[in-house]
């Protein structure tokens, strides 16, 4: 049978006409089987994230080096599932990732910006234990549900504690082994377990524990000296992981000091601003942070209306610093956006919504329909957007309107949406070149630090096996493109990024990265 009459080739011609329109002018007989096959693969590669990103000669050489490590690790994982970090739960894979050549590359790679990060879970838990828990005056008490509360003040109504307050320093001193005490203390603010499938068998279990940790830790970082130390460390960890800018979600809860005085939310923002200004002065290649006011979505409409009005006033006072508004908390248990529309009216023209939407496995429920309302509310970016792949019209709207999806792979895995990261819908978004940025969400609560771990899963699990530096470069540049940096700030960001990226490529070629 000749190729021209082969039924397979006829079916391939139809496929090519559907998927690769620019080949329509070529007849079936003009293409061999191999040419037709390669045409489809090439078309897919050009369609995906990074498909049109240009690599110069030096970058192409660096890509060849990177791909040796990537393909080597993937091949090892293919041969031995117990070594396949790309398919494993982060809690089980972290030790493998820490030893990975790909991870070392990503740690030293400029990563641009992180655009979805909650301040109260942004710092590594080990730093909190070694530093904040040793600050003079830290107290611990227990609620009637057995949850610990960490604080630097005695305020029973604030903490809902039923037990007496005890000094953490006294507990540590009277423990049999201070090292064991510190390990147990860290579990108060870290979800890590070697057996997540046993300790968190359902999404309810892990979310209950996750939200408890915010309540455990929240009052401690409102203590003014702790607030300053903690958020300085947040900036240090981002900077040391080669992140140059961040948009931080925060509830701006009032701070207090050792004398018992409490301060306004405006003072909280002023403290953020002062820390940011000082850090940028000391690190000129760091562009700083901007803030997104995050309000618990479980509140009633009147409470959210009150918070939204407060946001309007804070944005007016700090127009280029408090730039957006979001609703946070478990979407499945919170009020849908549609029910909260009366509270979200009259967004200032200079402000933006950055709404969590579709952080769910449900299909056709109020949670994933939040995606529709987020788009109708003109959200500048979509937080998580995990369920977006199930809504083709909304997916097309996101792509057409260039609304970036804030993809946080490890968060979605730890919080029970996906086990094998290769099944994460971010892979589909990447394949279709849907605008996306890689984010870390709450790294301090799951034994991570910075953004490199999420980038690891992005390139090893979400991206296809043959994807390398073009995809990484596109994701890094996306983080600046879809940020709320002003035009002038963005221009400077690209200048710094071009310089640091070029230096990084030189180091790769010199052999000083791996």
Give the residue numbers annotated as catalytic, written as ranges.
359, 384
Separation CA 121–CA 248 (nearest Å) = 11
Do the beta carbons of residue 480 and residue 490 sit within 8 Å? yes
Quick check: helix, strand or coil at residue 318?
Answer: coil
Q: Count CA within 13 A, CB hemisphere, residue 351.
A: 27
User: Which residues share a beta bridge with 196?
Assistant: none
Q: Which one-letter DSSP state was computed for residue 466?
A: T
In which order are the strands placed within the sheet that holds 352-357?
A: 113-118, 245-250, 288-296, 322-328, 352-357, 381-384, 404-407, 436-438
Separation CA 421–CA 98 (nearest Å) = 17
Separation CA 419–CA 258 (nearest Å) = 44
Separation CA 465–CA 45 (nearest Å) = 11
Q: At what angle do helices 101-108 and 487-510 cross, to 10 degrees?
A: 140
Give which of 98, 123, 125 is closest to 190, Cα–Cα: 125
- What H or E segment, with its residue span, contains residue 245? strand 245-250
Do the beta carbons of residue 315 and residue 323 sit within 8 Å? yes
Do the beta carbons of residue 198 and residue 105 sit within 8 Å? no
Do the beta carbons of residue 353 and residue 378 sit within 8 Å? yes
In angstroms and rounded to an integer, the radius of gyration of the C-alpha atoms of the chain is 24
Q: Which one-letter DSSP state was computed for residue 460?
A: I
In which order are the strands placed within the sheet that holds 139-142?
A: 148-151, 139-142, 166-167
Cβ partners under 8 Å of residue 215, min gap 6: 147, 149
Give which of 410, 513, 402 is closest to 462, Cα–Cα: 410
- What length does the chain have? 514
């Amino acid at each position: 049978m000749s190729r021209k009459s082969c039924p397979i080739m006829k079916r391939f011609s139809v496929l090519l006409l559907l998927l690769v329109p620019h080949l329509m002018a070529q007849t079936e007989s003009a293409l061999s089987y191999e040419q037709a096959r390669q045409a489809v693969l090439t078309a897919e590669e050009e369609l995906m994230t990074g498909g049109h990103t240009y690599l110069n000669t030096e970058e192409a050489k660096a890509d060849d080096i990177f791909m040796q490590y990537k393909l080597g690790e993937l091949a090892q994982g293919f041969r031995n599932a117990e070594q396949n970090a790309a398919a494993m739960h982060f809690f089980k894979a972290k030790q493998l990732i820490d030893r990975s050549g790909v991870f070392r590359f990503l740690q030293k790679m400029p990563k641009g910006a992180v655009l979805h990060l909650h301040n109260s879970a942004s710092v590594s838990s080990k730093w909190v234990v070694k530093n904040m828990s040793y600050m003079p005056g830290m107290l611990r008490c227990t609620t009637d549900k057995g949850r610990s509360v960490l604080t630097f003040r005695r305020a029973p109504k604030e903490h809902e504690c039923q037990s007496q307050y005890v000094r953490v320093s006294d507990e540590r001193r009277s423990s049999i082994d201070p090292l064991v005490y510190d390990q147990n203390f860290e579990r108060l603010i870290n979800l890590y377990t070697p057996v997540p499938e046993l300790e968190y068998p359902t999404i309810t279990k892990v979310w209950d524990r996750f939200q408890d940790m915010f309540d455990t830790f929240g009052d401690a970082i409102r203590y003014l000296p702790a607030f300053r130390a903690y958020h300085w460390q947040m900036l240090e960890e981002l900077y040391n992981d080669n992140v140059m800018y961040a948009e931080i979600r925060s509830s701006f809860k009032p701070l207090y000091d050792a004398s018992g005085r409490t301060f306004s939310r405006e003072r909280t923002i002023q403290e953020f601003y002062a820390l940011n200004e000082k850090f940028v002065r000391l690190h000129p290649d760091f562009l700083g942070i901007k803030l997104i006011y995050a309000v618990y979505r479980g509140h009633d409409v009147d409470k959210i209306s009150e918070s939204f009005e407060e946001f309007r006033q804070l944005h007016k006072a700090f127009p280029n610093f408090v730039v957006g508004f979001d609703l946070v908390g478990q979407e499945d248990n919170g009020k849908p956006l549609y029910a909260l529309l009366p509270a979200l009216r009259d967004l200032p023209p200079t402000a933006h919504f950055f709404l969590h939407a579709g952080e769910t496995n449900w299909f056709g429920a109020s949670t994933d329909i939040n995606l529709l309302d987020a788009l109708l509310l003109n959200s500048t970016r979509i937080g998580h957007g995990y369920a977006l792949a199930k809504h083709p019209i909304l997916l097309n709207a996101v792509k057409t309107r260039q609304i970036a999806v804030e993809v946080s792979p490890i968060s979605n895995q730890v919080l029970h949406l996906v086990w094998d990261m290769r099944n994460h819908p971010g892979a589909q978004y990447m394949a279709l070149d849907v605008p996306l940025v890689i984010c870390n969400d709450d790294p301090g609560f799951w034994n991570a630090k910075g953004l490199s771990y999420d980038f690891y899963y992005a390139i090893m699990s979400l991206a296809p096996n043959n994807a390398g530096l073009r995809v990484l470069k596109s994701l890094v540049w996306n983080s600046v493109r879809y940020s709320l940096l002003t035009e002038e700030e963005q221009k400077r960001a690209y200048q710094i990024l071009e310089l640091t990226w070029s230096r990084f490529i030189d180091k790769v070629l010199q052999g000083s990265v791996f």
